[in-house]
Structure 1
């Protein structure tokens, strides 16, 4: 299975701005070379010729990730190993010392995309996924990924100004992402280490300038955002997460059954809920009543609102 993406023609330093500003992406990959490869040996033969000494610092640390679908191997880790072997052999011949490698994405990250006989090698300028926005200190039970929450809100009719209602808020991810969008606060503000910082040629002044730029674009707004959960512990955790994100004053949290969630009558906005569903938190049969009540809640209390239910039980 290969995840879709967007292809741009940009420089390596442009990737700095993307990493700092994107809310919904997972990784920002910078293509180095595409080639034909029928097996893992072909991968090695191609990559051992590449000038890794111009990419990976000395001394340096690098890791390898991959997305592989090729019938010549059963385990993508073998492909990772051949990529690693090629880079190590190249650098050892040129620098005499073997570079350090490992699984942690804390240094230079090289990514292999290999499907059938098509291979492409990238610098992963991100490292740990930017879909995790870094503010969620207490995730709670089966939390929604921050990048997915942001994408879900983007796909809705919310205008960043009207009421945003989030019953069953759990750890507060949807409400927090809504508050971040309304205040124009981007996820890059919560992170200090990216893989692009460990690539030769990295210009720290571009990073510093972009951070100042995004900080200057934050706006102080009052948007009606209401989040509730029947669990007092969930609300306690959600408040701590909102505090870490710097949006605690923008969200009204309450402990109550979702049906009692406050919905302003004078403002048509968005009601978005990510309830339990069978393969995530609950038994499908037991959830029938809950889903029926969600429908009643939307009909009786959310007139004029756009309603969204994020679920796996359709």
Structure 2
């Protein structure tokens, strides 16, 4: 029988609550949110399930050792005391990632990775006169070193490549949105498939695909070619496929419209290519439409969610662009909950509408706000709701 153990799911700033909810809904135990991570407990089967199903996780880590560190020698010695034969051999390949947030270490994370690599290689060289090789692209074992103040946690990375690499994206535009962030935006918006969904500036279609997978209850990483745990000595292939099959049986067909617009024909082609790669073509329609010349053509409650140009993608007249967003929504999109993300926080005043929510997020290194506008079908005064904090 598989025993429960502690795991840590890492995520992006601002998505911790969404990841916490995902884990609880999936059946995790002792779920505790942190900063850019959520810890929990589960067994080997749950580790497989978390990797396959979680939408807002970047990696699923399995901690194996924690010790105090005040300098590089402490790190080297601490790694030497781990029984590495439990996890790899001298014939294995390995890679190390590191995150450091400590006044005791002024060196960068890359240097800590190199120091850790030396310690593990020396461990095997001293005992077996042979050292494992480093393979940063396709290692047998990925090891994660996390130093927070004076505490060092060594973990096995069960995910392998970052979980944002879903496996469906074949075509991209300039600065495409990260798949984990896209899924997080959809979950934060409250969209669950029970209304229409429109991305009016869909680019290569990442938000559309993540929304459709949520509406259909399709596991986020079902299209990935592999996970890190598949190379572990204790990998249970039968258990993995049992978990996968149980998740696939819960897929449903969407009951409402899901569609995207883009004014660039090349973007429409790329979006359709990616949607086809994700096996979602029958559920999503992408139209060659300029949002600013559009009106809502679907009946009933609709979630509108998009990622307009900003930051490195900004090549626009900011005031005119954001004013057009507000005017188009006011005149063409009644009975809609509208969300978009931007790093140009000052430009929001040009929209000319009052936000009902503002959620701080990060898109890479950019400080962003994820904002909501409520567009009403009738009189604004007649249907006014209390403004949410």
Q: TM-score range by the shorter chain?
A: over 0.9
Structure 1 residue 49 displacement after superposition: 1.3
**In the alignment, structure 1 residue 309 sits paired with structure 2 residue 325:** no
SS in 2 for 1:209: helix
Task: Give the Cα separation in 2 of the matches to 1:311 and 1:247.
Answer: 27
**In the alignment, structure 1 residue 38 sits paired with structure 2 residue 70:** yes
TM-score, normalized by length of structure 2? Answer: 0.76
Query: In structure 2, do the counterparts of structure 1 residues 262 and 184 end up closer, same or farther at CA, with 3 Å as the change threshold?
Result: farther
1:26 alignment counterpart: 58
2:233 alignment counterpart: 200
Task: Give the Cα separation in 2 of the matches to 1:237 and 1:57.
Answer: 43
Map 1:134-153 onto structure 2 (within 5 A): 134-153=167-186
1:79 paired residue among 92, 112, 119:
112
CA contact (8 A) 2:196 2:298 kept: no
Of 107-116 and 66-75, deviating more is 66-75
Structure 1 residue 276 displacement after superposition: 0.6
SS in 2 for 1:73: coil
1:124 paired residue among 157, 162, 171:
157
TM-score, normalized by length of structure 1? Answer: 0.93
SS in 2 for 1:131: coil
Task: Give the Cα separation in 1 of the matches to 2:93 and 2:45.
Answer: 20
SS in 1 for 2:99: strand
2:142 alignment counterpart: 109
Task: Give the Cα separation in 2 of the matches to 1:41 and 1:69.
Answer: 17
Structure 1 residue 261 displacement after superposition: 4.0
Task: Give the Cα separation in 1 of the matches to 2:260 and 2:322.
Answer: 18
Output one character per residue of 1:81-121: Cα deviation in whole Å (capped at 9) or x when no partner.
12112211222334432111132254210000012211111
Of 107-116 and 197-206, deviating more is 197-206
Comparing both chains, which one has the higher relative contact order based on Cα–Cα distances under 8 Å and sequence gaps of 6 or more? 1
2:10 alignment counterpart: none
CA contact (8 A) 1:131 1:145 kept: yes
CA contact (8 A) 1:222 1:250 kept: no
1:169 alignment counterpart: 202
Query: In structure 2, do the counterparts of structure 1 residues 219 and 263 end up closer, same or farther at CA, with 3 Å as the change threshold?
Result: same
2:37 alignment counterpart: 5
Task: Give the Cα separation in 1 of the matches to 2:43 and 2:244.
Answer: 18
Task: Give the Cα separation in 2 of the matches to 1:165 and 1:4.
Answer: 29
**In the alignment, structure 1 residue 66 sits paired with structure 2 residue 98:** yes
Output one character per residue of 1:114-167: Cα deviation in whole Å (capped at 9) or x when no partner.
122111111111121112222111121111111111110101132312110111
Structure 1 residue 80 displacement after superposition: 0.8
Output one character per residue of 1:37-66: Cα deviation in whole Å (capped at 9) or x when no partner.
001110110111111111115631110001
CA contact (8 A) 2:143 2:155 kept: yes
SS in 1 for 2:331: helix
State the superposition RMSD in angstroms: 1.9
Output one character per residue of 1:16-36: Cα deviation in whole Å (capped at 9) or x when no partner.
111011111101011111111
CA contact (8 A) 1:225 1:252 kept: yes
2:331 alignment counterpart: 300
CA contact (8 A) 1:133 1:147 kept: no
Task: Give the Cα separation in 1 of the matches to 2:128 and 2:43.
Answer: 27
Query: In structure 2, do the counterparts of structure 1 residues 97 and 171 end up closer, same or farther at CA, with 3 Å as the change threshold?
Result: same
CA contact (8 A) 2:217 2:251 kept: yes
**In the alignment, structure 1 residue 264 sits paired with structure 2 residue 300:** no
Output one character per residue of 1:167-186: Cα deviation in whole Å (capped at 9) or x when no partner.
11100111111111111111
CA contact (8 A) 2:192 2:214 kept: no
